[in-house]
Each structure stands twice: as structure tokens, then as C-alpha cells.
Amino acid sequence: MDGRTARAARNRQAVLEAALALIEEGTLQPTAQAVAERAGVATRSVYHHFSDLESLYLDAAQTQIARHWVLLLQPVSGDLPARLDAVITLRAELFERVAGIRRAALLREHESVVLSERLGESRAALRAHLRQHLPELETLSPPVREAAYSLTSWENWDVLRRHQNLSVPAAHAAVVAVLTALLH
């Protein structure tokens, strides 16, 4: 790789990291100017590397998936209480790591076909993860099973953490308590 190509790759990564940092700090829809300033590049560099902010946000979401969704690949075993605890522990860690970018994606979900598809894929992956590690959910009636899926969603986690102001351990305990009641 020649010097120009290497510099372009570094600048592209700097723009991506700047966008992620701003989103994680609470600026859910950072401007190209804010991203460029944080990355230490000219605003035109943002558009040189990404055709528009939508493509930057999509790349940011994909980067988060690559970095954090590996958590769900960790083995889960044991009796039902152990598996419940492990599954919710993994989700709590994942949800805490991706909270900013997830909120940013939800803001744009209604206007972006690609983001809507990605969020749909993540919701399906979370459901599959539950089915894999908690097959007992399949014994529940469909309405109760759907409530269990909802209870373990990122959206519910966000309500517990932000709107009900629960700590991570308290939110974890709330989800485990309700799942335990549903499955017994």
C-alpha cells in the first residue's frame, strides 16, 4: 500500500471513529462538520470517504456489529437459572456497548430502508439467540412467548436503564425475575 492509500485509509477510519465517538457521547445525528472536526480532517474528507451521512451512519452500525455482537457467540450452558442469568448478562453487556449507535439508528429507522433492514436483522438475531439458549420459551403460549421476546429486547433494556433509571444490575435482575416467573 502506498503512502497516499494508507493516508486515505487512516482518514476514513478517523472519520468513522469520530462519528462513533460523537454518537456514543450522545450526539445521535452528528453533522459532517462535527465529525470532520473530531477526526481532524476537512469536512470535504467526510464526503470523500462516504457519499453521504447515511452511508457513514450505516458503516458505523456495521462497525458496531462487528465489534460487539461477538458477545452473543459466547457459550451458554447449565440449568435454566444459570442460562437465564448468562443470556441476560450477555445482552446487558451488548446493549450497554451499543446503546448510542442503537439510539441513533432508531432515529433514522423510519426514513432509511437499509437501517430498517439492519435493525430487523438484529431483532431477529436476538430472538434466535433466545431460542437457542432458552428453548423452554417454545413451551409458552404465543402471547406469553412474544412478551418474553419483548422483555429481552434492546428497547425494553433502554426503558429500564434510561426511563426507569435502573442500574445495570437492577435492570438485569428485573429481566431475569420476570423471565423466571414466565418459565416456571
What pLDDT does 5 receive? 83
Interhelix angle 113-133/53-68, nearest 10 degrees: 10
Weakest-pLDDT range from 101-105, 132-136, 159-163: 101-105
Interhelix angle 3-24/80-108, nearest 10 degrees: 110
Q: Residue 1 pLDDT more than 70? A: no
Q: What is the DSSP annotation of 11-42?
A: HHHHHHHHHHHHHHTT-SS--HHHHHHHHTS-
What are the pLDDT digits (tens) for 26-76? 887 889 999 999 999 999 999 999 988 888 888 887 888 888 888 888 999
What pLDDT does 117 receive? 86
Task: For the chain, list the domains and their CATH numbers.
Answer: 3-50 (1.10.10), 67-183 (no CATH)
Q: What is the DSSP annotation of 158-172?
A: HIIIIIS---HHHHH
What are the pLDDT digits (tens) for 161-175? 999 999 999 999 999
- Say which residue, 156 or 56, is predicted with more confidence: 156
pLDDT band at 3 (very low <50, low <70, confident <90, very high): confident
pLDDT band at 4 (very low <50, low <70, confident <90, very high): confident
CA nearest neighbour of 157 among 113, 94, 71? 94
Q: Are 60 and 101 in contact (CB under 8 A)?
A: yes
Q: How far apart are the first and last CA of the chain?
A: 59
Grid coordinates representing 162 are 434510561
Grid coordinates representing 183 are 418459565
Grid coordinates representing 64 are 458496531
What pLDDT does 115 receive? 81
Residue 95, C-beta contacts closer than 8 angstroms, at least 6 positions apart: 102, 154, 157, 158, 161
